[in-house]
Amino acid sequence: MQKNAINGLDEILFVEIPEGSVILVTGAEGTLKSGLAFSMMANHVAANDEHALYVTLEQNSESHLRNMNSLGIKKGSNLHIFDYRDMRYEWMNSELDLIKMTEEVIDSYKDKYEDLTLFALDSLNALYSISEHDNMRNIIYDFFSHLRDKGLISFLIMESDRSSISGQFSQFHQTEHYLADGTIELGMIEGKGGVKRYIQILKMRATKHAMEKHQLTIDENGISIRGPIY
């Protein structure tokens, strides 16, 4: 994925993200997790004539698109949105394994579009909340492997706070952080000039990146990354 997929991304990402990378996009609510992932995907596929798939479990596609439009992010025809609304309603009396379904959905789009290179899931938390598996660690390991095998750069959105004391992610989500190739954290920080949004790459395997928190801004042209926040 190109390091200029959004304005200023090259401030924090010095080389391109390798294909097959599974990247967590974490942060509290309202920190632009969905907007960042969607924006990077939309810009990348528009510039490279590739295809991308955004799977939303939290909202239906119309509602998601309304939100993205309000952020100044345009979809483009090569960015496909899949939501589970119709499937879940029509099969409400059946038990659906949504992790397996998501793998099948990816495979179907990959069959249709060989140049499908990017995938996003919004969100892992929602997937967990409606999936019932005894051994979630193994399931997630297999799911991540599936994404890598497909050669996709995957953004898995996950609402997750770090402890302000230990800096550790909650125990519940440590498996994902361990298994993922990268973690992008979004957050808000209060300073003299008021509350600012920030982005920080905590980890990105095989990719040179900045460690500092950088300011994340949003205006009518979409999302941009500015200089270091301190």
Partner 1 sequence: MNTSVENVPDLCESQEDCCKKFVDRIIKTNREIFIMLSLLEKQMCGYDIIKEIFSRCDVFLSQGTVYPILYTLEEEGMLHAEYSKGDMRSKKYSLTPRGREAAEKDVEDFAKALEQVSFLVKR
Q: Residue 177, interface with partner 1 (CB under 8 A)?
A: no
For residues 23 and 199, what is the distance between their CA atoms, to the nearest angstrom? 14
List, in sequence order, every residue forming a beta bridge with 153; answer none if it has no partner.
118
| Residues numbered 66-85 forming contacts with partner 1, rule: CB under 8 A | 77, 80, 82, 85
Q: Does 139 bind partner 1 (CB under 8 A)?
A: no
Q: Which residues contact 76 (CB under 8 A, 6 or more apart)?
A: 42, 45, 46
Binding of partner 1 at residue 62 (CB under 8 A)?
no
Least Å distance, CB 17 to partner 1, is: 25
Nearer Cβ to partner 1, position 29 or 90? 90
Residue 164 in the binding site for partner 1 (CB under 8 A): no
Half-sphere exposure of 94 (CA within 13 A, CB side): 8
- Taking CB under 8 A as the rule, does residue 100 contact partner 1? yes
105: how many CB neighbours lie within 10 A of its CB?
18
The answer to whether the beta carbons of residues 43 and 5 sit under 8 Å apart is: yes
If one asks whether residue 108 binds partner 1 (CB under 8 A), the answer comes out as yes
Nearest CB to partner 1, comparing residues 87 and 179: 87
Nearer to partner 1, 10 or 103 (CB): 103
Report the distance separating Cα 196 and Cα 82, nearest Å.
32
- Residues in contact with partner 1 by the rule CB under 8 A: 77, 80, 82, 85-87, 89-91, 96, 100-105, 107-109, 112
